[in-house]
């Protein structure tokens, strides 16, 4: 009896979203303009391009959240405020709340394995040492989701620096051009699925 009552009164409480787009980064002015916050900035740029409402704090998700419709698709944009290495729990909760399967998750993040100006989608791949991606895979117990990787490979003179040191420095001057293109590719991925091509911008 209780199962029938619960189904009747609570079955519509889960809001269904067609795609969850998450930008990885760290909260606070200290990190705002670093390469490591490329995910935050690309998803924020997508929000502006689509004229979605402003991000609002969602306390249960410990994230900034906005929602809207791209053509006929309901989309949620999420910026976890948990700091990069603990992003997975917020994403796990969001997937559950919006009834989104992992394969409809698009994760946007910086990547020191790709040259600056390179934008590439990867599907069902390991974390390649990225702590934020590792947290997500551990929390949702699968790597079957899409990643949009924004390249920040070490440049000449940075060979002895750790990847963490590189991405926590200021982003290169060409970052706006790179992130605008990444936002365009991100919109296409939401509508039509991720591209298999690698975008390499001349910068």
Q: How far apart are CA 194 and CA 184, in angstroms?
A: 12
CATH of residue 164's domain is 3.40.50.1470
Residue 12 backbone phi and psi in degrees, to 5: -95, 5
Residue-range definition of the domain harbouring residue 62: 15-200
| Number of domains forming the structure of the chain | 1
Residue 1 in domain: no
pLDDT at 12 over 50: no
Residue 26 in domain: yes
Interval 66-79: pLDDT, tens: 999 999 999 999 99
Catalytic residue among 36, 97, 109, 130: 36
Which SS3 state, helix, strand or coil, does residue 19 take?
Answer: strand
Residue 175 backbone phi and psi in degrees, to 5: -60, -35
The residue to which tokens 């989104």 are assigned: 100
pLDDT at 1 over 70: no
Residue 6 in domain: no
Residue 117 in domain: yes
The pLDDT confidence band at residue 168, using thresholds 50, 70 and 90, is: low
Q: What is the CA radius of gyration of the chain?
A: 17
Residue 8 in domain: no
The pLDDT confidence band at residue 128, using thresholds 50, 70 and 90, is: confident
Residue 9 in domain: no
Known catalytic membership, residue 109? no
Residue 5 in domain: no
Residue 174 in domain: yes
Mean pLDDT, residues 14-28: 92
């Amino acid at each position: 009896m209780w199962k029938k009552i619960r189904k009747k009164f609570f079955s519509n409480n889960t809001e269904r979203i067609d795609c969850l787009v998450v930008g990885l980064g760290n909260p606070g002015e200290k990190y705002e303009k670093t390469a490591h916050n490329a995910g935050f900035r690309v998803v924020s740029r997508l929000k502006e391009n689509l004229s979605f409402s402003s991000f609002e704090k969602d306390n249960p998700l410990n994230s900034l959240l906005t929602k809207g419709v791209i053509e006929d698709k309901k989309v949620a944009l999420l910026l976890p405020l948990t700091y990069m290495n603990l992003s997975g729990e917020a994403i796990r909760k969001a997937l559950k709340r919006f009834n989104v399967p992992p394969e409809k998750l698009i994760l946007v993040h910086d990547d020191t394995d790709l040259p600056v100006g390179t934008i590439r989608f990867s599907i069902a791949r390991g974390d390649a040492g990225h702590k934020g991606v590792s947290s997500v895979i551990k929390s949702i117990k699968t790597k079957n989701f899409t990643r949009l990787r924004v390249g920040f490979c070490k440049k000449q003179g940075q060979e002895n620096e750790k990847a963490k040191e590189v991405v926590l420095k200021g982003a290169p001057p060409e970052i706006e051009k790179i992130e605008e293109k990444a936002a365009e590719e991100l919109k296409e991925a939401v509508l039509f699925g991720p591209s298999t091509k690698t975008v390499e911008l001349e910068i």
